[in-house]
Amino acid sequence: MSNIKNTLSPAELARYSRHIIIPEFGREGQEKLKNAKVLVIGSGGLGSPLLLYLAAAGVGTLGIVDFDVIDDSNLQRQVLFTVDEVGKSKAQTAKKRIQALNPYINVVVHETRFTKENALELVEQYDLVADGTDNFPTRYLVNDACVLAGKTNVYASIYRFEGQVSVFNYENEDGTRGPNYRDLFPTPPPPGLVPSCSEGGVLGVLPGIIGSMQASEVIKALTGVGEPLAGRLFLFDAASFSTRVLKVAKNPETKITELINYEQFCGIFPDAEEDAVKEITVQELDSLRNLKEDFQLIDVREPYEYDIANLGGELIPLGEVLRNTAKISKDKKVIVHCRSGKRSADAIRDLETLHGYTNLYNLKGGILAHAKEIDTTMPTY
């Protein structure tokens, strides 16, 4: 933390009185919060409750990393935002909201992607990092940057009914560091095994539950009050309302010496050229339709996604594609699409490898690209 200590004003002493009267917390704990700098990666589902409660608690400086804009589909769980703010910057809107909640704190907006190029520079400016991301490349990047910079990483993740919380790379009293994310998960799962929240869904209240727990761990780590979840992974299942706590040990074989290509590490972008698939743009698809060309359009999303928005293609969900090859032509151009282009690319690779298709084209960017570049009235999710 900063060597320059800011003391609490009379107004702040009154505001934070419910903290200060806790014997274990006291004025000392509150002043630690006031002098702390916390970097929050993401202001979405987890970031919303996390930022609200850290701001309300009096964390002196909050940094927000987010390059996204607010979408209507966010409002089911991202309670920082309102209908009137759809289309606006998440980071700037979050700053306005939490400063209205607590004018005594400083909020710094980093309206950029968290990348290999800027990760260390961002992390080194703060005392602690809270990871509210929803994808594996950024999750591993946050972890590695924290390890290299010597910062505590308060981690949380959500999926459908399940949530996780832990405190990684925590500095112990003897100066050693606790386990980090790679000690628990050395390598990411295969691409497509764990869908994102946009593909697999998430219970709307779950980010509130898990994000609040994450905020609690941040406060504990900053003040030294209580016992942080260092060396432990907390698991919560909202469907059964059950919890488990797993022990996490340091792995002597875990070596982090530099930041790497995380998209490639997590299998987001194929490394081998033969894994690439032929593509067609949404503009080219639109032209084919206008010219009334003979082609087949296959949609590999789920039925509920099709009901939200569709391009009129034949619906064959990804999990059913290989059982329905009789419906997929080998005699003309077949364009396969999904929400973003990832699942459709996976479907094409499977069909080419297992069934010898040579006439398949992936719609680049999927429904999202069509809604952005062709039909801006089309709903997205």
Q: Does residue 374 sit in helix, strand or coil?
A: coil
Q: Which of 203, 266, 311, 338 is catalytic?
A: 338
Q: What is the pLDDT of residues 170-195, one digit of tens each?
A: 999 999 999 999 999 998 876 655 66
Q: Does residue 260 sit in helix, strand or coil?
A: coil
pLDDT tier, 79 (very low <50, low <70, confident <90, very high otherwise): very high
pLDDT tier, 379 (very low <50, low <70, confident <90, very high otherwise): confident
Helix (H) or strand (E) holding 294: none
The verdict on whether 146 is a catalytic residue reads: no
Rounded to whole angstroms, what are the CA distances from 11 to 14, 58, 295, 309?
5, 12, 69, 51
Q: What is the pLDDT of residues 349-375, one digit of tens each?
A: 999 999 999 999 999 999 999 999 999
Q: Please identify which residue in the block is written with the tokens 């200590």.
A: 5
Q: For helices 206-223 and 26-34, give the axis angle rounded to 10 degrees.
A: 110
The token pair at 246 is: 């797993």
Q: Which of 197, 206, 266, 367 is catalytic?
A: 197
C-alpha–C-alpha distance, residues 179 and 107, integer Å: 30
Q: DSSP states of 195-213 as a string?
A: --HHHH-B-TTHHHHHHHH
Q: CATH number for the 273-373 domain, one of 3.40.250.10, 2.70.160.11, 1.10.260.40, 1.20.140.10?
A: 3.40.250.10
Q: Please identify which residue in the block is written with the tokens 């006291």.
A: 26
- What class is the 36-265 domain? alpha beta
What does pTM read for this prediction?
0.78
Q: Which is it for strands 152-159 and 162-168: parallel, antiparallel or unpaired? A: antiparallel
Rounded to whole angstroms, what are the CA distances from 321 to 10, 268, 279, 298?
66, 21, 19, 10
The token pair at 149 is: 């910079």
The verdict on whether 338 is a catalytic residue reads: yes
* CA 328 to chain centroid: 35
pLDDT tier, 247 (very low <50, low <70, confident <90, very high otherwise): very high
Instruction: Label residue 64 exposed, middle or buried (CB < 10 Å: 0-12, 13-18, 19+).
Output: buried
Task: Give the per-residue pLDDT at 268.
Answer: 62
Q: What is the pLDDT of residues 198-219, one digit of tens each?
A: 667 899 999 999 999 999 999 9
pLDDT tier, 271 (very low <50, low <70, confident <90, very high otherwise): very low
Work out the angle at residue 375's Cα, subtended by the Cα atoms of residues 374 and 377, and round it to the nearest 5 degrees.
Answer: 155
For the chain, give every domain's residue range.
Answer: 36-265, 273-373
pLDDT tier, 272 (very low <50, low <70, confident <90, very high otherwise): very low
Q: DSSP states of 68-132 as a string?
A: -B--GGGGGT-TT--GGGTTSBHHHHHHHHHHHH-TTSEEEEE-S---TTTHHHHHTTSSEEEE-
What is the chain's mean pLDDT, rounded? 92
Least confident range from 27-36, 164-173, 194-203, 338-347: namely 194-203
List, in sequence order, every beta strand (DSSP E) within the chain: 37-41, 61-65, 106-110, 128-131, 152-159, 162-168, 232-237, 242-247, 279-280, 295-299, 314-315, 333-337, 360-363
Q: Does residue 333 sit in helix, strand or coil?
A: strand
C-alpha–C-alpha distance, residues 235 and 20, integer Å: 30
Q: Which residues of 68-90 are buried (b: 16+ CB within 10 A; e: fewer)?
A: eebbeebbebbbbbeeebeeebb
Instruction: Identify whether the C-beta of residue 333 lies closer than 8 Å to the C-beta of residue 295.
Output: yes
